[in-house]
Amino acid sequence: MEQTVIAVDQILHEALRVSRDHDDARVVRLDIELSPSGHIDPEAVRRELVAEASGTAAEGAELSIVTAEHHYRCSSCGQLFTSPAGSAAVECPACEESAVALERPGVCVLTSVEVANPASGSD
| Residues found near Zn ion in the complex (CB under 5 A) | 74, 76-77, 79, 92, 94-95, 97
Angle, alpha carbons 14-110-60 (nearest 5°): 75
Q: What DSSP state is assigned to residue 71? A: E
Q: Yes or no: say if 72 and 100 are a contact pair by the CB < 8 Å rule.
A: yes
Judged by beta carbon, residue 95 or residue 100, the one nearer Zn ion is 95
Closest to Zn ion by CB, 5 or 102: 102
CB of 36 to Zn ion, least distance (A): 21
CA distance 13 to 87: 33
**What's the CA gap between 9 and 27, in Å, rounded?**
15
- Least spacing, CB of residue 43 vs Zn ion, in Å: 36
DSSP 118: G
By beta-carbon proximity to Zn ion, the closer residue of 22 and 81 is 81
- Shortest spacing between CB 97 and Zn ion, in angstroms: 5
Comparison of 14 and 69: residue with beta carbon closer to Zn ion:
69
The CB-of-119 to Zn ion minimum distance in angstroms stands at 51
